[in-house]
Amino acid sequence: MILFLITLVIIFIFYFLNIMLYKKENFCYGNTYCNGNKDKSLCINQQCLDCGLSAKCNKDSDCGPNNCINGCCDSF
């Protein structure tokens, strides 16, 4: 029983460490870019939005006259 509890605690520790190390910003305040701008996300209304003010896309035709760059229309 004690071995089971120790194993369970270790699993929870690894789970929370994983969340903390790979956590992305969801709430932001006063900064222009989120997640180090790795995901082309922009801080709008205190939330990190993937494409900022641009629409998400899979191909250029999803963006009308614009280009689809890294999953966002006319990404910066």
Higher pLDDT, 40 or 64: 64
pLDDT at 66 > cutoff 70: yes
pTM (whole model) above 0.85: no
Positive or negative, the Cα torsion across 50, 52, 56, 57? negative
pLDDT digits (tens, 9 = 90+) for 33-54: 787 776 678 888 888 888 878 8
Question: Can you give 15-54 as a three-state secondary structure string?
Answer: HHHHHHHCCCCCECCCCCECHHHCCCCEEECCEEECCCCC
pLDDT digits (tens, 9 = 90+) for 16-37: 777 666 666 667 877 667 877 7
Decide if 37 contacts 50 (C-beta within 8 A): no
